[in-house]
Amino acid sequence: MNTDKALLKQDARVIGLVGLAHGTSHFYHLILAALFPWLKPAFNLSYAELAMLMTVFFIVSGIGQALAGFVVDRVGARRVLFFGIGVLGLSAVLLSAANSYTALMLGALVAGVGNSIFHPADYTILNQRVSKARLAHGFSVHGISGNIGWAASPILLTAIAAAGSWRLALLCAAALPLIVLAILFINRDAIRPDPIGAHAASQQQGGTLAFLKLPSVWMCFAFFFLTALALGGIQSFASTGLVKMYGMSLTMATSAYTAYMLASAGGMVLG
């Protein structure tokens, strides 16, 4: 019985730490989109130029995510996770100091690099450190924490920007990864990686890229590509669109998006 309690405590600790990191990643998906109402007049940007910032962020994230998987296998998930969280904080500092569209683009690119590592690192840690009986719960919490990050970002950032400035909002956003990084470092033993050699045998069977031959991999890719395409539009322009189309206040429009993401998280809980 004591062994079961100890295992439950260990699993909950790992799942909670990974969920916290993943929520931070999703919070950063929207640090630019949430501030579009301030960035547009500040830099005299068109909606196409604003959309390009998000495009750069997600293209870098997508390409980097594929590459990050190999890096995780080489150096371990914990190191890669620490790196990604630190880069997210750096990106917010760069964005807060931006004085041109080029500087905003650079900040978006750096944020994309930081964001790219989370899924390979997170799922590796969950698979290595969570017992098989609770692995599905770990994946569920991982998804729910991401939705909470999406829901929290626009509410917090627009509130800070409205009370102060968009630069202040980004500086406050930069503090989040530093806090999360400190928490993860204190609990680093819980998310320690398995020895690199433990994965060597599995990698040698069929080659490193053998998984690309599996139809299920491409079916999952197609599914997530289409859902990401739709969700990306909602994330980036839901608040702005509701204001323009229905004359809603920015506060109400942002709250509507937050409700949408919280409802999505609720669906995951039921699932």
Which residue in 188, 183, 177 sits closest to 79, CA to CA? 188
- What local confidence, expressed as pLDDT, does residue 228 receive? 79
Q: What is the C-alpha to C-alpha distance for residues 248 and 240, in angstroms, rounded to an integer? A: 9
Q: What is the C-alpha to C-alpha distance for residues 19 and 143, in angstroms, rounded to an integer? A: 8
Low-confidence ranges of the chain (pLDDT < 70): 1-2, 195-208
Rg value, the chain, Cα: 19
Q: What is the C-alpha to C-alpha distance for residues 125 and 40, in angstroms, rounded to an integer? A: 39
According to CATH, the topology of domain 11-192+214-270 is Growth Hormone; Chain: A; (1.20.1250)
- What local confidence, expressed as pLDDT, does residue 1 receive? 53
Does the model's pTM come out above 0.75? yes
- What local confidence, expressed as pLDDT, does residue 193 receive? 84
Residues 6+ away with beta carbon under 8 Å from 189: none
> What φ, ψ does residue 44 adopt, rounded to 5°?
55, 55
- What local confidence, expressed as pLDDT, does residue 2 receive? 64
- What local confidence, expressed as pLDDT, does residue 195 receive? 66
- What local confidence, expressed as pLDDT, does residue 190 receive? 94
Q: What is the C-alpha to C-alpha distance for residues 140 and 266, in angstroms, rounded to an integer? A: 11
Tell me the torsion sign for CA atoms 259, 265, 266, 268.
positive
